[in-house]
Amino acid sequence: MAVTIDGSAGVTTNAGGSVNPSTNIDGINFSCRAWVNFNGTGTVAIRASGNVTSITDNGTGLYTVNFTTAMPDVNYSAVGTCNFEVDIGLPFNTRTLATGSAGVETYRPSPYNTAVDVSTVSFAVFR
């Protein structure tokens, strides 16, 4: 498959579809609209990102991912992971989805169900 990037940041493929991050996506291509990898302990710091301006630390295990360019609506898919911590399991949950940001929580699953900081959080938005 050939890929062409035009001057407006749009992408065209020879599979017959095009992707432009500022418009709706056709049925052939789906793109990641925002992504981030950040430190979730101590002073929160972005390691690497795309379309994310900042991370707000809202307390233990509670973060807000702030988008550079807002989503067109809240009908996007937010996915994430975080590193495995001893006795925590799979501690990740999206709390709120807004056009300009998304809330993320890392927590100890049952029986604890309490928020906890983890060292690495990865988060992505698809639409």
- Do residues 55 and 101 make contact, with C-beta atoms less than 8 angstroms apart? no
pLDDT at 39: 93
Tell me how far apart the alpha carbons of residues 34 and 24 are, in angstroms, rounded to a whole number.
Answer: 14
**Kind plus residue range of the DSSP H or E element containing 101:** strand 101-105
pLDDT at 49: 97
Q: 15-61 pLDDT, tens per residue?
A: 444 445 544 444 456 679 999 999 988 899 999 999 999 999 999 98
Q: Is 86 exposed, middle or buried (0-12, 13-18, 19+ CB in 10 A)?
A: exposed
What domains does the chain contain, in order, with CATH numbers?
1-30 (no CATH), 31-126 (2.60.40)
pLDDT at 15: 45
Q: 71-96 pLDDT, tens per residue?
A: 999 999 999 988 766 655 557 788 89
